[in-house]
Amino acid sequence: MSRRVVVDPITRIEGHLRIEAETDAEGRITQASSAGTMVRGIEIILRGRDPRDAWAFAQRICGVCTLVHGIASVRAVEDALKYEVPANAQLIRNLMIGAQYIHDHVMHFYHLHALDWVDVVSALKADPKATSQLAQMVSPSYPKSSPGYFADVQKKVKQFVEGGQLGIFANGYWGHPAYKLPPEANLMAVAHYLDALTWQRDVAKLHTIFGGKNPHPNFVVGGVPCAISVNSEHEGATSLNMVGLSNVQNIINQMRDFVDQVYVPDTLAIAGFYKDWATQGEGVGNFLTYGDFPAKGINNPASNLIPAGVILNRDLSNIIPVDLHAENEIEEYVSHSWYDYSVGKEKGLHPYKGETALHYTGPKPPYENLETEKEYSWLKSPRWKGKAMEVGPLARVLMLYASGHEQTRELVGMTLKKLDVPVTALYSTLGRTAARTLETKILADAMQGWYDQLIANIKAGDVRTFNEKKWDPSTWPAIAKGAGFMEAPRGALAHWIVIKDGKIDNYQAVVPSTWNAGPRDANGQEGPYEAALKGHKLHDPKQPIEILRTIHSFDPCIACAVHVTDPDGEELVKVKIK
């Protein structure tokens, strides 16, 4: 007898995502439906505004990836106005985006995804001395590995459990037979969970140095808002001085140390117990990257660290070029979404011509199930030349690997050898999780190079961070359109803008979680989330940890894809925290 399993919300942060899975008599998923259950209205909010201010609004698309939407927005305006950005500004942007990746990936692994693999309560059974021996074997250089350290962590966890104060640990499926780590490995992982909380607080300061604050650091069309002054050495200077730059170096060192000594070793150690997940959760088998981290400016894509391209049907021997400005390549469909198009729901629209016409036809809340044969999501369905594409760390690592990037090939080879799995293991839940870790290592190392180049430019007398030439709207054409492409931590992100008479005439954002979490299209073609869940066998439909593992491997952040706003600006929800 078949049944429908509902997980809502499925994310541990930004949680407006619902998964409804149909299972057969054996508990195997035959079809999954991914639904964004809140609506986004940022495009409507931006119409008629000054395009130079768009980043400040667009950045509020998400409370996690605040920086990347600001970057995509200013790049869209700069593309429309053919704006040249100074070299220092590009390096600073690279450093800020890189810091967002590293912070985001570490936080995702430990605080949002590791709990799918780590049994927190089991850590209470661990021997702290044996845990210390394990930790020193996994990562000999990490200083926090004494028996006393792990005994203190165990005591802290015990107090949480006995006091009923597990917090976000409270709703875990602790004791589920799918958990395979021994108690000592669980205790080590919980300890590193707590270490990462302290670490992330410190590394977030890089955004405040360059952008004034975090979250929602400041940006400016034409560069970055931080002026460089080599003469203001003292604390409190309003410009970026050598004290601030020295702090940036220290933060980069902290990032690299934690990635090398904790994140990479933990991923490999935990993955070794879950090699059966190297054959589950593939997805659509198509991968898309926009490319990012330019060495010679965003208008020179050949200098990107991450190349742009498409990989179809897992064929790593053929990288298909992507024309990011062609209006016949990327389109959004709404046949299973709660939107209307003036051209009809069966046709796709390029974002330059995109429409945000809300039309909810779903069941009245509260409801048991969505009508998944009809419209069932506030997410649209993006397609590249009609094909569903996976975006994110796995797509980027595959693109780097296929293009011959030496460090990527070394890291992938090391990982496959250590886990004793074939290269096809990359196309899986485990491969997606490992790719995120390897990408973090690549970018942490790259940040040192960008920092060194910035310092070299300053020492050579180049302190320019802003281009004012096209700041005045009187210099703009009557009609201009542009697209801001980038690689956000969760995947390919782009903002499209149409400027008319100095104001925003149309604005559309297609975000990573829309690419991955979007619903089926008019042809019945599934999105990556939906395709990745097919074939999963649930041990217990009431504790569907298998669904969590695969969906969390994409690092869903549905706030980027869906939003709700009151038309009169009234407060909708107030949350009080004691």
What residues are annotated to the active site? 14, 62, 65, 69, 490, 513, 557, 560
Ramachandran region of residue 283, left (φ > 0), alpha (ψ -120 to 50) or beta?
A: left
Q: How far apart are CA 29 and CA 4, in angstroms?
A: 9
Q: In 342-452, at which residue ranges do the beta strands (DSSP E only) sit?
A: 357-358, 381-384
CB 411 within 8 A of CB 441: yes
Running DSSP on this structure, what letter comes out for residue 120?
A: T
488 - beta bridge partners?
491
Ramachandran region of residue 164, left (φ > 0), alpha (ψ -120 to 50) or beta?
A: left
CB 433 within 8 A of CB 551: no
Q: How far apart are CA 269 and CA 421, in angstroms?
A: 14
Q: How far apart are CA 326 and CA 209, in angstroms?
A: 37
AA identity, residue 577: I
CA atoms within 13 A on the CB side of 514: 30
What count of residues does the chain have? 578
CB 434 within 8 A of CB 117: no
Q: Among all chains, which residue has been given the structure tokens 């703009």?
A: 476
Residue 355 burial (C-beta neighbours within 10 Å; 0-12, 13-18, 19+):
middle
Which structure tokens are listed for 494?
């782009």
SS3 348: coil
Nearest CA among 223, 235, 237 for reference residue 92? 223
Cis peptide before 225 (omega within 30 of 0): no
